[in-house]
Structure 1
Amino acid sequence: MCLYCKKALKVSIARLAKASRELSPYRALRHISSKITRSMKTIFVTGFPGFIAGRLIELLAQDDNARFLLLVEPRFGARARAEIARLAQKTAGDRDRFHLLEGDITQPQLGLSTMEFERAREETTALFHLAAIYDLAVARDVAMRVNVEGTRNVNRFALKLPRLERYHYVSTCYVAGKRTGLIRETELEHSAGFRNFYEESKYLAELEVDRLKDCLPITIYRPAVVCGDSKTGETTKYDGIYYLINYILMQPDLLSLVNIGNKRVRLNVVPVDFVVRAMATLARDERAIGATVHLADPEPLTTYDLFETIAEAAAGHGSRLHVPPTLVRSTLQLPFSETITGLPRVGVPYFFIEQIYDTTRARELLEPHGVVCPSFPSYVHALIAYVRAHPQP
């Protein structure tokens, strides 16, 4: 048993003993009443009102017995209130089911007041930790403070929850860093190094959560490169595969003629609706307790084929020429290439990573529920249509 768990167990026993001594008839009545109230599910979510968090809550809110405690940084308060209005309308639910808590995962007690922290501690039955800095160019001190120390604070909170049934942590496939070849869901620790502080901080954060699996009912999710909705194309950020989409859309007929992809390297892309549906599904499946799952495409396309697929959808034809990958990579690393192609140099390495993400456990858990990752060609038209309709996300 880890040190965190020993301390938590000791505190819980002490509290139980004290409660048994002090429970007056009036308090006993309140205790019975609270047990009835506690039949409700209370889901605590960090990272609200992020795109993934909002869509995940929309699915979870289909359960009429679910209430939500949503941790939001004060600067995102207006956005969060607007998102709650959308969620209430979308789910035809009571707006009071969604309670905003202004706080910060980098602060003690998650930046909450003592009263709010105690309420959250007593009521929470499920915890979803999505809050993180998702920026390939993030400075090390910021990445470590938010992604690592912030996760430690959420872990401390999780260990204090007497009613906790599940702790869901969102990581990334890129905790694999500079490893190559097949990356298994059961593998985490390595010494291959990282391309940036985002990868390193998410790796260190996942280590912190993984070490609590013996103490808490944890499921860890590692999404691949998340893109927009497979049906509507909706997204809030143009990164990842959008660098290539926006590059081709600058001059579709011309730029689609010269393929700058790589026939050996695969870029694993998954639509956001698959990611949130997978998480919402596994949240109800006890078989996922203790599991780490890759939310990735089991049959990802090479970057060469991704280029061809996007070119066909955007221009109606594929390429005529193929530029050698070594030349492409060296050219994209030049200072002026960012201005011309729109592809930030920090994103270039991700089109040349020779990694394959094993999805064995994810498929074992998801396929019985009918949850399958759609193929990129089946939704590329939706992505392109959305980008054309919304030049700025």
Structure 2
Amino acid sequence: MVPSAFVMLEAIPLTPNGKVDRRALSEFSVKSLKLSTDTFVAPRTPEEKLLANIWASVLGIEQVSIHDSFFELGGHSLLATQLMLRICETFLVDIPLHHLFQSPTVAGIAKIIDTSRQAKIVDTKTIIDLNAEAVLDITIQPPKISVDVFAKPSSIFLTGATGFLGTYLLYDLLMQTRANIYCLIRSSSVAEGKQRLESTLESYSLWNETFHSRIIPIIGDLSEPLLGIPEPQFRHLANQIEIIYHNGAWVNHIYPYSVLKAANVLGTQEVLRLASQIKPKPVHFISTTGVLFSSANVDTDTQIKIVRESDFLDASQVIESGYVQSKWVAENLVREAGLRGLPVCIYRPTRIGGDSQTGISNPNDFLNLAIKGYIQLGKVPILDDKKENIIPVDYASRAIIHISQQTDLLGKTFHLVNPRPILLSDLVNWIRSLGYSLEETAYEQWRTELNHHQENVLYPFLSLFPQDKSSDKKLPRTKVPQFDSQNTLEGLSTDIVCPVVDTELFGIYFSYFWSSGFLARPSGQKTSIQPDLINGVKEI
């Protein structure tokens, strides 16, 4: 997690015994921050005064200048949702969240409110020319020499090693190779970075003491030129490593493309620069099936188009998600690097679920948050035929590493999907069978109820649930295409098979949810879960 704000101190306060004085330290909280009088501009109108009060309340600070950026004052995506909801309720306007990223000041939002009242419209979106964004730096040119593709590399570079999938990739690389793994990580020191990497492995029950000497932290930042690595070290690293796994990305489904571009697009470009310097190095890029979500992949209400691994959407068809747009552009950069002679592979996983053996899951995954939010609210929108395609994280990682070790597969794209998606309505029925009370309600009623419960884990994501003006009582549908995965199936060995997502697997997941405290156990539920709770049928 990146701190939302910093408080600068000349020295850490200490007790008479020389220990940190935590009580004195608490007095220097972000809430006590005050703006300097020479930069402070007071509200000029009643609207700006009201907005400034809302700003200060949400951020937990005493005063706000009308020209201060919400995000520079400590705001983040979750607080942004809360802020905009309060503004819309207070001023009786409907302002989409993306306006806050475009105009993150009191003065800016006041002007948008005024414009909306006069013109009666505010949903004017910044049009992004994704094709113009997807242009690889002309200086990134792999040397015109033969590529040494090592079946057994001794030095591997990995980004995103502390993320959920990234931790499993690190583990499998340590288990399936003898290579040293150079991990890009944001940290104040090499020692701290190494401790963070090891602690993350340990938190997922993946740590082994024999890994210690082979994990090498590289202090840097995806969003910085040369990945935040000093130029001499960058060139040394380019000469040393033999293969790259680029898994790192800023995963945020609320932020717009402009915010995510530095890490997800420019970061990918810098990885390709690293891969092209001195000697060409294979790049294995982790993308997402989200880059293929589009109405163009749906023929009719009953026919879903089969999307093949070689398919690629036109820029105009990409869904309006900053994260998906950033991955679409990054894929284009990787593909262009491949055309310039760099050996590349692209992997598009669908939703990544927990470990199929231990149940260890990503608490920030949206499906997990949705399950928790439904349970907290006691209500669920009508889901009908809405499906989810889920693959366990251990399968995803093993599949990527196994395929990447086959040099004859370089240049291909791979879909990592489950051949049998699940109906979310069946999952809800199974959750009910555990003893949770879940009332199925019309979508608009469910959304209104969620809007009144700020403590719900889904409340910060309210902007992702559009207000439905139609008479349809169901959750607005985003149709998911059917993904072909022939390249993946041909590249995998017979012992790497995607587990069936059934009640037994979700039983493992819920056991972890309970033991970790992510979910409260329903009253009357004992320590174990029977795998056949849905009318004697094991499969969801």
TM-score higher than 0.5 here? Answer: yes
- Answer yes or no: is the 8 Å Cα contact 1:262–1:352 preserved in 2: no
The aligned runs of 1:35-46 (5 Å cut-off) are 41-46=154-159
1:271 pairs, out of 374, 389, 392, with 392
Residue 252 of structure 2: aligned partner = 135
> Alignment identity in percent?
21
Residue 384 of structure 1: aligned partner = 510
Residue 175 of structure 1: aligned partner = 291
Q: 1:315 to 1:365 in 2, by over 3 A?
A: farther
CA distance in 1, matches of 2:488, 2:239: 34
Q: 1:249 to 1:162 in 2, by over 3 A?
A: same
CA displacement at 1:220 relative to structure 2:
0.8
Residue 315 of structure 1: aligned partner = 435
Cα distance per residue 1:334-381 (max 9 Å; x no partner): 771663763322554898321134132254235434222112213101
Q: 1:112 to 1:192 in 2, by over 3 A?
A: same
Residue 266 of structure 2: aligned partner = 149
Q: 2:234 aligned with 1:83, yes or no?
A: no
Q: 1:39 to 1:286 in 2, by over 3 A?
A: closer
How many residue pairs end up in the alignment?
Answer: 356
- Answer yes or no: is the 8 Å Cα contact 2:416–2:485 preserved in 1: no
- Answer yes or no: is the 8 Å Cα contact 1:46–1:72 preserved in 2: yes
- Answer yes or no: is the 8 Å Cα contact 2:346–2:414 preserved in 1: yes
CA displacement at 1:231 relative to structure 2:
1.7
CA distance in 2, matches of 1:54, 1:6: 29
| Greater relative contact order, per chain length (Cα 8 Å cut-off, separation 6+) | 1
Letter in structure 2 aligned against 1:162: K
- Answer yes or no: is the 8 Å Cα contact 1:241–1:269 preserved in 2: no
Q: 2:346 aligned with 1:231, yes or no?
A: no
CA displacement at 1:322 relative to structure 2:
5.4
Cα distance per residue 1:195-228 (max 9 Å; x no partner): 3211111111111112223322211111111122
CA distance in 2, matches of 1:271, 1:218: 24
Residue 24 of structure 1: aligned partner = none
Q: 1:193 to 1:152 in 2, by over 3 A?
A: same
CA displacement at 1:109 relative to structure 2:
1.9
Letter in structure 2 aligned against 1:90: W
The aligned runs of 1:178-327 (5 Å cut-off) are 178-179=294-295, 180=298, 181-182=304-305, 183-190=307-314, 191-214=316-339, 215-250=341-376, 255=378, 260-312=381-433, 314-315=434-435, 323=441, 327=442
- Answer yes or no: is the 8 Å Cα contact 1:282–1:288 preserved in 2: yes
Cα distance per residue 1:148-196 (max 9 Å; x no partner): 11111111211225162x3110111111243343332211122224232
For structure 1, which runs of at least 5 residues remain unmatched after alignment?
Answer: 14-34
- Answer yes or no: is the 8 Å Cα contact 1:266–1:302 preserved in 2: yes
Letter in structure 2 aligned against 1:194: I
Residue 9 of structure 1: aligned partner = 143
CA distance in 2, matches of 1:210, 1:338: 44
2:478 pairs, out of 353, 362, 366, with 353
CA distance in 1, matches of 2:388, 2:514: 23
CA RMSD in angstroms, aligned pairs only: 3.3
Q: Greater shift after overlay, 190-199 or 122-131?
A: 190-199
CA distance in 1, matches of 2:189, 2:420: 37
Residue 62 of structure 1: aligned partner = 175
Q: SS of the counterpart of 2:328?
A: helix
After TM superposition, the runs of 4+ consecutive aligned structure 1 residues lying more than 6 A away are none
Letter in structure 1 aligned against 2:381: I
Residue 451 of structure 2: aligned partner = 336
Residue 30 of structure 1: aligned partner = none
Letter in structure 2 aligned against 1:111: G
CA displacement at 1:107 relative to structure 2:
2.1
- Answer yes or no: is the 8 Å Cα contact 2:280–2:342 preserved in 1: no
Q: TM-score normalized by structure 2?
A: 0.59
